[in-house]
Amino acid sequence: MDEKTPPLSELQQHLQLLSAKFSERLKHELPELRGMAQTLRNTQDPEDRKQLLTRVREQLHKLSGSAGTFGFGTLGKQARELELQAVEWLEHLVKQEQGHSAFLDRLEEMTQQNFVMELNAASGQTVTAVSQAALDQRRIYILEHEVELGENLRQTLNNFGYIASHYASVEALDEAIREHMPDALIIESQELEYAAKLQAQRNDALSLLVVAPQDDFSTQLQAVRAGAMGFFCKPLNFSQLENRLERCFAQQQGDPYRVLIVDDDLELAARYSLVLRGANMQVEIINDPAMIFAHMRDFNPEVVLLDVNMPTCKGPELAQIIRFNDDWLRIPIIYLSAETDIVRQMSALLKAGDDFVTKPISDNALIATVFARAQRARLLSNALSRDSLTGLLKHADIKDQLAVELERTQRKSSIASVVMLDIDHFKQVNDNHGHSAGDNVIRSLANLLRQRLRRVDCLGRYGGEEFLAVLPDCDAEQALRVLDEIRQRFSELCFLSKDGQFSVTLSAGIAMTRSADTAGELLERADRALYAAKHNGRNQVQLGG
C-alpha cells in the first residue's frame, strides 16, 4: 500500500501558489523578450538599438534575480549570463555583429524552453519556520555549593519574577532535570564538564550562565565551549546576572522582528514576505519607493530589504534618503540583487547599506540573514535606548513614546492612561540596606511591571526610583485595577540584605488622556496624582483629575 503524501502546510501552499503565478507570468514575459530579440535583429539605428537593449538587460536582470527563488534555477542562470553579455554590449559598444547574433540566438533559445518540469521539481521545497512559545514564568536552576549564596540568589531571582530552585550538588540537580528541564541553568565553573554533557543531550541550546571564583582566560574559554551565554565572578552582582538572564530570554522570545521589503517585483516581494512571516517576523512591502517615509515612521522596521534596481529610484539612492534621517541610522539595510560584480556591490554599500545578498537566495538563507541582522539591531537599539539596570526605556525615550501614543489617541479618537510610580521611602532602603539592595528593589519592580502589563504598554525608568508607564486603549478605572494589583504584589516581595530581610511599598498616580492634552499636561496630572498618593499615606494608587 502506498504511503499517503502528508498534507502541505499553509505556508507551503502559499509558496506554491506564488510559484504558479510566477509561471503564468513567464508565459507573457518570455514571449515579450523573444519579440524584443527579434526586433533587435532588424534595428539599424544605434540609439534605438541602445534603448531596446537597455530594456532587454533590465528584464534579464529581473529574471536572473527572481527565477531561481521561484524554483526556476536553470532559467535564472541563463538570464544572468545573458544579462552580463548585454551589459558588455552596452558598456563597450562592441561592433562584432557575429557576437551580437550569437547573443540574440541564445536569448531566443532561452525564451522558447519549457520550464514547467523544473517548477514541478521545485514545488517540493520546504521552509524551516521558527516557532517560539511564550512562557509566563521562566524556570531557573542554580547549582551552587555555597548554600547561603545559592539561597540568596534563588530568593532574588524569585523576586525578579522567575521560578528559581537551588541545588547544592550535581546529583540533586541531575534528579531535578530528569523531572523537568529548566529554561536556564546557573552553574559553578568547576561543573562545566557536566554542563557541556547536558548541552550535548539537547536539540536546542540551554541558556547557561557560569559563576566562577576567577575570570581568567582559560576558565572563560571553557565556559564558551560549554555553551555559556554569560560569565560572572564572585562576589556576584545579582542585578547584572539577572540582566544577562533577561537578555538571553529576550533573544529566544520577544516581539517579532519587523522587516520592510522595498521591491518593484510584486511576486518576489510576496514570496520573501511569506517566508519571513513563516519564521515569525512581521513584514510590510513597498512597491513604490516614494512611500518610504510613511512606512519607516509608522512601521518602525528593524531591517530594510532593498532591491538595488528599481525603475524610478535605485536602491542605493533610496538607502541614502533613509540615512538622511538620524532616527533611522541604526536600521540595517540589506541590498537584494542579482548583481554579482564586486565593484558594483561595494559601490552600493559605500553609499549607504550594511549587507549585500545576491539573488536567488534560498528561503533558509534569507531567514538566517534577516534574523541575524535584526537581532543585532535590536540588541544595539536596546543598549542605546534602555536603562542598564532595569532594561526599561530611558527618561528621554519613554517621553518620546508618550508623545507618540498621545498623537495616536488624538488621531484615532481613542484613549490611553499614563502612570507615574515611585518606590516609597527609597532613600531609607539605600541608607539602611545599601545601594546594592536598592538596585535589587528597583530591578524587581521593573520586572514585575514588565510581567504584569501588556506587551503594547510602554515602560520607562523616569529617574532614580521613579517609573513611567503608558497604557494604550486603557481607561483610568482599568489602569487603577491593574496597578493596585501590582502594588499589592510588590508589597509582598521579600528582599535580602546583610542586615536581614525587608519589604518595600510603592505609590502611583494615574491620568487618562483628554482630547486637548499635551504630553506635558498629561505628565503633570499623573505627577499630581502620585503626590496625592504620597501625601495620603503612601502604598496606594490615586486617580488624577
State the Cα–Cα distance between residues 479 and 483, nearest whole angstrom: 6
**Once rounded to an integer, what is the mean pLDDT over residues 534-538?**
93
Angle at which helix 46-66 crosses helix 266-278, to 10 degrees, equals 20
Q: Which residue has the cell 539537547?
A: 202
Query: Is residue 450 over pLDDT 90?
Result: no
416-423/184-188 β-pairing: unpaired
Q: Which residue has the cell 518576489?
A: 268
Q: Considering only 133-142, 150-159, 199-208, which range has the smallest mean pLDDT?
A: 133-142
Number of DSSP helices (H) and strands (E) in the chain, helices first: 20, 17
Domain 10-122 coded CATH 1.20.120: yes
Q: Which three cell numbers stand for residue 228?
A: 555559556
Mean per-residue pLDDT over the chain, rounded = 81
* pTM attached to this predicted model: 0.52
**In the chain, where the domains are located:** 10-122, 139-252, 258-385, 395-543
537's torsion region: left (phi>0), alpha (psi -120 to 50) or beta? Answer: left
For residue 498, how many other CB atoms are within 10 A of its CB? 8
Give the pLDDT band (50/70/90) at residue 122.
Answer: very low
Q: Under CATH, which number does the domain 139-252 receive? A: 3.40.50.2300
Query: Is residue 2 over pLDDT 60?
Result: no
State the Cα–Cα distance between residues 56 and 54, nearest whole angstrom: 5
Q: Which of 169, 161, 160 is nearest to 142 (CA)?
A: 169
416-423/466-472 β-pairing: antiparallel
pLDDT score of 137: 66
Give the pLDDT band (50/70/90) at residue 11.
Answer: low
Same fold, 139-252 and 258-385: yes
The residue count of the chain comes to 545
Task: Please list, in sequence order, all residues whose beta carbon lies within 8 angstroms of the beta carbon of residue 166, skipping any fewer than 6 positions away.
Answer: 142, 144, 147, 150, 151, 153, 154
416-423/506-512 β-pairing: antiparallel
pLDDT score of 251: 62
pLDDT score of 348: 78
pLDDT cut 70: percent of the chain above it: 87
CB 262 within 8 Å of CB 289 = yes
pLDDT score of 5: 37
pLDDT score of 10: 63
207-212/184-188 β-pairing: parallel
Q: Under CATH, which number does the domain 395-543 receive? A: 3.30.70.270
Q: Considering only 118-132, 348-362, 385-399, 492-506, which range has the smallest mean pLDDT?
A: 118-132
Q: What is the pLDDT of residues 233-266, one digit of tens each?
A: 988 877 678 778 877 776 665 678 899 999 888 8
User: CATH second-level architecture of 258-385?
Assistant: 3-Layer(aba) Sandwich (3.40)
User: 3-state SS of 19-82?
Assistant: HHHHHHHHHHHHHHHHHHHHHHHHCCCHHHHHHHHHHHHHHHHHHHHHCCCCCCHHHHHHHHHH
User: Which carries the bigger pLDDT value, residue 530 or residue 71?
Assistant: 530
Q: What is the pLDDT of residues 351-375, one digit of tens each?
A: 888 888 887 788 888 888 898 888 8
Peptide bond before residue 360 is cis, with ω within 30 degrees of 0: yes
Percentage helix, strand, coil for the chain under 3-state DSSP, each rounded to 5: 55, 15, 30
**Once rounded to an integer, what is the mean pLDDT over residues 149-173?**
87
pLDDT score of 254: 60
* DSSP secondary structure code for residue 225 in this structure: H
